[in-house]
Every structure is written in structure tokens, then in C-alpha cells.
Structure 1
Amino acid sequence: MIRKLQAVVLDCADAERLAKFYADFLGGRAVPDPEDADWVEVSGFEGTPLACQRVDGYQPPQWPGQEHPQQLHLDFDVDDLDGEEERALALGATVLERTDQLRPGVNWRVYADPAGHPFCLCLH
């Protein structure tokens, strides 16, 4: 029986850089594995733990295209969409779509982390 989700692991070209992005964004810390230079965990924040894993030949997802599909994305609840967008961009994220400005009644925006993984900021 599965008791809990241990971690969400994101493939990337630079595990240390991506883990630092998420650690700074979530208020946690990046913890490199002393035995595996390709693995960095993000801990010290509320929620499911994240880990970043360097893989050879990493190809970032293309959103919304399907040549390199997103396969998964992360959703983050926020109280201040504009403020958290500004913080995410300062940390290295890029805007993919300001969905709330395109579709009436929608309360999220789509971004890419520094490795190209899509994530959403959702107004809570």
C-alpha cells in the first residue's frame, strides 16, 4: 500500500540551479546529495518535497506545443498573483501565458521555471 507521495522529481540539465530556483521561490533550501552530484533535494517548505535530477540530453517541455509535451506541471496557490509573478520572474522564471488576462473568470497564470518546466500560480 502506498502511504504518501515521497517527492516530485524534475529532470533538468542543471540540478543545482533548478533546486536553488525552487528553494528560493518556496522559502526552502537546496540540499545536494553528497553521493550523487546529479541529485539535489529541495526541503524546508510546506508541501510535497521536490528533487531535481540532472539528465544527459535534457529537452525542456514546450508549452503549449506537443513536440516536447509538459508531461506534468506544478500548481502553487498564492494570495497575490502580481506580487508572486514579480518574485518568480526575478528568480528566473519566464511568462508562458497570463491566462487570467485572456479568459474571463480564470484565476491562474502559466510560467516556465529556469529548466523549462511549466508551473502555474493560482490565485487562492
Structure 2
Amino acid sequence: MPQRMRLSAITLDCPDPLALAAFYRQATALEPHPKSDVDFAGLNREDGLFIGFQRVDRYRAPSWPGQSVPQQLHLCFEVEGDLEEAEARLLELGAGRLNHQPHAPRALILTDPAGHPFCITKG
């Protein structure tokens, strides 16, 4: 039987790690990693999951749903309460809303300030 693995970290490429970490911190209330800096920033979840943000020179945002620049990964978040209220809050924080919404109204697809697509669903 294969050994079990537990996901411990997810890292996103971006042009500004501190700014993207600040967006996700406001969106999720996760704690900032104490060694975050201009080249690599992170957030810690209580169960040990780490979300990292690493600076990439000449970063190009994904073009989802098109594939001229593939999305490379897709984060999904469950939200408590009203989905539209959560969307409005995230848009105020700097998220973008895509026109292509294949799973609305049960899931909405937004982009973070660096252009990574992510979903919000009702928890």
C-alpha cells in the first residue's frame, strides 16, 4: 500500500508576493508567515497548510478560460453565508469577476489581483 501524503503547502507565482499575501489574508483571515518578504510571502492555516506567494520576473497572468496563458492551478474556497455578499467583499478587496461563469449560481469564478482564477462556493 502506498504511503499517505498530506498536502502541506501551495505556492503561487506572482509579481508582488506581499500584495498578494495581503489580499488572501484579508479574504481568508489566515495568519501571515513571520519570514515573509518582497520575494516570498506566505500565510499559515491552523492545521499547518501554508499558502506561499513567490516573485516571478516578467509574470504573466493566466487567461482563463482561454489558454494563451494557462491557469496552471485553481483554488476553491467555501464561504459561509450569502455567496453574492462574499463576492462583493472580495471585489472590494481587489478581486476581479470573469464573464465566463459555467457553474453559477452555485459557484462563482473570480480572479485574485495577480490574475489567478479561484472559485467561491457556498459552504
The TM-score range, normalised by the shorter chain, is: 0.7 to 0.9
Summarize deviations over 1:75-120 as a string: whole Å, max 9, x none.
Answer: 1112320111011111100001473xx667x510100000000000
Structure 2 residue corresponding to 1:15, chosen from 14, 17, 33: 17
Summarize deviations over 1:1-44 as a string: whole Å, max 9, x none.
Answer: 4531121100000000000000110012333536x641111124
Hey, what does 1:85 align to over in structure 2?
A: 87
Structure 2 residue corresponding to 1:24, chosen from 26, 33, 40: 26
Hey, what does 1:33 align to over in structure 2?
A: 35
Aligned partner letter, 1:84: A
Task: Give the distance between the partners of 2:48 and 2:92, measured in 1 at CA.
Answer: 23
1:5 and 2:24 are equivalent in the alignment: no
Q: Number of residues paired by the alignment?
A: 120
CA RMSD of aligned residues (A): 2.3
Normalising by structure 2, we get a TM-score of 0.84
* Residues 1-124 of structure 1: pairs in structure 2 closer than 5 A: 1=3, 3-31=5-33, 33=35, 37-44=38-45, 48-79=49-80, 80-97=82-99, 99=101, 107-124=106-123
Instruction: Specify every segment of 5 or more residues in structure 1 that has no aligned partner in the other structure, as ranges.
Output: none
Secondary structure of the 2:73 match is coil
Normalising by structure 1, we get a TM-score of 0.84
Instruction: Classify 1:96/1:121 alpha carbon distance in 2 versus 1 (closer, same or farther; 3 Å).
Output: same
Q: Assess if the C-alpha contact under 8 Å between 2:16 and 2:38 holds in 1.
A: no
Q: Percent identity?
A: 41
Instruction: Note the C-alpha offset of 1:48.
Output: 3.2
Instruction: Classify 1:64/1:14 alpha carbon distance in 2 versus 1 (closer, same or farther; 3 Å).
Output: same
Q: Assess if the C-alpha contact under 8 Å between 1:27 and 1:45 holds in 2.
A: no
Runs (4 or more) in structure 1 with deviation over 6 Å come to none
Task: Give the distance between the partners of 2:97 and 2:13, measured in 1 at CA.
Answer: 20
More strand by share: 1
